[in-house]
Amino acid sequence: MPAAPLPADEASRLAALQSYDVLDTDADKALDQIVALAADLTGNPIALVSLVDETRQWFKAGLGLPVRETPRAQAFCAHAILAPRDPLVVTDATQDARFQDNPLVTGEPGLRSYLGVPLVDSQGFALGTLCVLDQVPKTPDDRAVLLVRTLAQSVVTNLELHRALRRAEAMALTDEVTGLPNRRGIAAALEQAMQERRPATVFAIDLDHFKEANDSAGHAAGDAVLREVASRLRQSVRGSDIVGRIGGDEFAVLLMGLADRAAATEALRRISAILHKPVGYAGTSLRLGATIGAAMVPADADNAEAALRMADEAMVQAKRAGRGGVGWASRADAERVQRVAAIIRAFDADIGGATVLAGANVHLQPIVALDGAPGVVAVEALARWSHPQLGPVPPAELFPAIGPLRASRLGEAVRDQALAALAVLRASGLTTARVALNLSAAEVARADVVAHIADQVERAGLGLDAIEVEITEEVLLDRVSNRTLDQLAALRGRGARLALDDFGTGHSGLAQLLRLPLDAVKLDKRFVQRLGNDNRAEEIIRATVSLAHGLGMTVVAEGVETAQQAAMAAALGCDRAQGFLYARPMDRQALSDWLAERLPAGGDAPVPLRPRRAAG
């Protein structure tokens, strides 16, 4: 019995077959139906989806034959794939030199006739056949051939679809630069280990100096560093451990089954050492370093996401103690991480709820003129959000916890409420002030920020000349795009005032101020509150005022708590002030009462600088 010769493209054909990852997999309902249909409609007792592997044919689906595979040497289909375009028809196997000695013909099940259509994929590889067989000699009619051809095409489509889906899944879990699992992949692997109740040690690794390499030597150099780090990490752990890239210059290592802190600390030191050796690139040597945080499951966290965050938190703490260090997650980290997770969960539920952000509202804090002229010049809108169990979460904790996307949602809700409040206060004649709105960097970077804000303001029945926009230095950093600057300038052009918030806390310096036409700078409360104790604060304020006035900007002193601070700020030339001395941030009703109390009948009179006790 002559075995079928190998197709000319056999090596690549086998590689293609492998790429479908279909051999030895479970039954597929759709393919089972196809073989049943093929048998039924052609009147044959046997129908198979046969895949021709290196030494065997394996049946992905089959009807009427009690085996899942046969040796390739006995396979009719091994002959069929030699002519991928044509069906192979065998009318009587006992009369065909290729098959008359075949044990499947001479013995059980006594095959006589065969009709097989090659399964040709879109790259042209014949993976196997869809075939129908009988134990009696038979010549198929045209209709039978057409039917099997059509069904064979469906089989190929099914296989290709499954491969595409599997690839998409793999892609979603894989980082393209290094080929390592990405954050989702790492989280999935860790979750799996935890479900199997296997302990593991998690390292969160942050590369130092990566930005340097990327900036000075280019993206190709950056990618080379990432790949080198990936390979060093892979080589320094066992095959069963998992290495992933979870962010731009962040990696993670999962040491599976390792629950011993001493051993894990040993591994931590070893990995830290190999990440402190420079990387050779294009004849130069690029500096490398890393800071690593570690956490253990199940000891430190009860789910994968929390474990990754714990390791991350430990890394941030280690970084605070100086780059290049290592650190373990602590009890305090665990509490912080749990609190952040609880905040995010409740916040997401709030966003999804019936009333959008039911837990959010706005408080408004007056900003008053120090030169005695027109009283309350603005009210600043400040976000307030309460967790159903934890209670109010202060903005300084809330904004970093929820990240830029949710912060935008919160900001939007806060602005809506602030604008509505201002519209009411203005309509009732209580104030002519503007409302000062804080915009986060992510919000400012939106391509449609002008239209978005203008739309919000209009919906409240106000004009852009009713608002003041507060941005922090962060927005003006080197990397800010010209488009963003243009957007802000456009808002200003349409009547909004523009203020630089928290001035003096960043490093951008006064030159940065000139990148954008500003109307005001708000001196950070840390300066204001040092007035009287610290001569340097005084000098800085004096210099800032002089520069700002030179540029035609007003200066606002923030965080004014005492009469002495107010007097000194005024003496140093600050134009406006905001702080607990005048008023705390208040809800709309409280602000309305506060304003009414200070508004003598019929007048737009100056508001006294000191809080006044209610008469009687």
Q: Which residue stretches of 3-134 are H helix?
A: 10-19, 29-42, 76-80, 103-106
Instruction: Considering only residues 542 through 601, tell me which ones interact with Ca ion, judged by CB under 5 A.
Output: 558
Binding residues for ligand C2E, total number by CB under 6 A: 24
Q: Is 585 in the site for ligand C2E (CB under 6 A)?
A: yes
Q: d(Cα 3, Cα 112) in Å, to the nearest integer?
A: 18
Nearer to ligand C2E, 272 or 487 (CB): 487
Which residue's entry shows tokens 């109740």?
197
Please, what is the minimum distance in Å from the beta carbon of residue 558 to Ca ion? Answer: 5
Look at residue 585 and give the partner it binds from Ca ion, ligand C2E, none, a contact being a CB closer than 5 to 8 Å depending on partner kind. Answer: ligand C2E
Q: Which among Ca ion, ligand C2E, none contacts residue 473 (Cβ within 5 to 8 A by kind)?
A: none
**Contact criterion met (CB below 8 Å) for 4 and 56:** no
Binding status of residue 181 toward ligand C2E by CB under 6 A: no
CA angle 291, 184, 215 (to 5 degrees): 45
Among 140, 222, 375, 411, binds ligand C2E (CB under 6 A): 411
Among 561, 562, 573, 590, which residue interacts with ligand C2E (rule: CB under 6 A)? 561
What gap in Å lies between CA 247 and CA 251, rounded to an integer? 7
- Binding-site partner at residue 561 among Ca ion, ligand C2E, none, CB < 5 to 8 Å by type: ligand C2E
Q: CB-based contacts of 453: which residues, under 8 Å, 6+ apart?
A: 415, 437, 439, 464, 467, 469, 491, 496
Closest separation in Å from C-beta 382 to Ca ion: 8
Binding mask 507-536 for ligand C2E (x = CB under 6 A): ------------------x-----------
Q: DSSP states of 217-260 as a string?
A: H-HHHHHHHHHHHHHHHHHTS-TTSEEEEEETTEEEEEEET---
What one-character-per-residue DSSP string does 331-356 give? HHHHHHHHHHHHHHHHHHHHHHSSST
Least distance (Å) between residue 335 CB and ligand C2E: 21
411 binds, among ligand C2E, Ca ion, none (CB under 5 to 8 A by kind): ligand C2E
Q: How far apart are CA 326 and CA 317, in angstroms?
A: 9
Helix (H, G, I), strand (E, B) or coil at 568: helix
Do strands 284-286 and 497-503 pair parallel, antiparallel, or not at all (unpaired)?
Answer: unpaired
Position 502 contacts ligand C2E (CB under 6 A): yes
Minimum distance from residue 428 beta carbon to ligand C2E (Å): 24
By CB under 5 A, tell whether 502 contacts Ca ion.
yes
Among 53, 175, 473, 501, binds Ca ion (CB under 5 A): 501
Return the one option of ligand C2E, Ca ion, none that residue 396 interacts with (CB less than 5 to 8 A, by type): ligand C2E
CA angle 550/556/560 to nearest 5° reads 140
- Beta carbon of residue 506, minimum distance to ligand C2E (angstroms, whole number): 13
DSSP secondary structure string for all residues of 89-106 = EES-GGG-TTTTT-HHHH
Q: Which of 438, 484, 565, 578 binds Ca ion (CB under 5 A)?
A: 438
Nearer to ligand C2E, 178 or 578 (CB): 578
Cα 160 to Cα 311: distance, rounded to the nearest angstrom: 40
**CB of residue 367 vs Ca ion: minimum separation in angstroms?**
10
Rule CB under 5 A: is residue 214 a binding residue for Ca ion? Answer: no
Site membership for ligand C2E, residue 416 (CB under 6 A): no
Q: Which helix (H) or strand (E) holds 327?
A: strand 326-328
Cβ at position 276, least distance to Ca ion in Å: 40
Expressed in angstroms, the distance from the first to the final Cα of the chain is 116
438 is an interface residue for ligand C2E by CB under 6 A: yes
d(CA 38, CA 30): 12
Q: Which residues contact 93 (CB under 8 A, 6 or more apart)?
A: 99, 100, 102, 105, 111, 112, 113, 114
Cβ 502 to ligand C2E, closest distance in Å?
Answer: 5
Please name the helix (run of DSSP H) or strand (run of DSSP E) that holds residue 164, with its range, or none: helix 142-172
Residue of the chain from 35, 205, 367, 383 that contacts ligand C2E (CB under 6 A): 383
- 260 interface partner picked from Ca ion, ligand C2E, none, CB below 5 to 8 A per type: none
Counting contacts by CB under 6 A, is residue 559 touching ligand C2E? yes
Least CB distance from residue 423 to ligand C2E, whole Å? Answer: 18
Q: Which does 190 bind (CB under 5 to 8 A by kind): Ca ion, ligand C2E, none?
A: none
Residue 255 or 560: the one with the smaller Cβ distance to ligand C2E is 560
CA–CA distance, 121 with 131 (Å, rounded to integer) = 16
Contact of 410 with 357, CB cutoff 8 Å:
yes
SS3 state at 24: coil
250 binds ligand C2E (CB under 6 A): no
Stretch that binds Ca ion, among 22-30, 77-85, 179-187, 469-477 (CB under 5 A): 469-477
- One of 382, 489, 551, 599 touching ligand C2E (CB under 6 A): 382
Examine residue 440 and tell whether it contacts ligand C2E (CB under 6 A): yes
Instruction: From the list ligand C2E, Ca ion, none, pick the one residue 511 interacts with, judged by a Cβ distance below 5 to 8 Å according to partner type.
Output: none
**In 3D, which of 149, 76, 143, 147 has the Cα closest to residue 114?**
76
Per CB under 6 A, residues contacting ligand C2E are: 365, 381-383, 394-396, 399, 411, 414, 438-440, 470, 501-502, 525, 559-561, 578-580, 585
Binding site for Ca ion (CB under 5 A): 438, 470, 501-502, 558
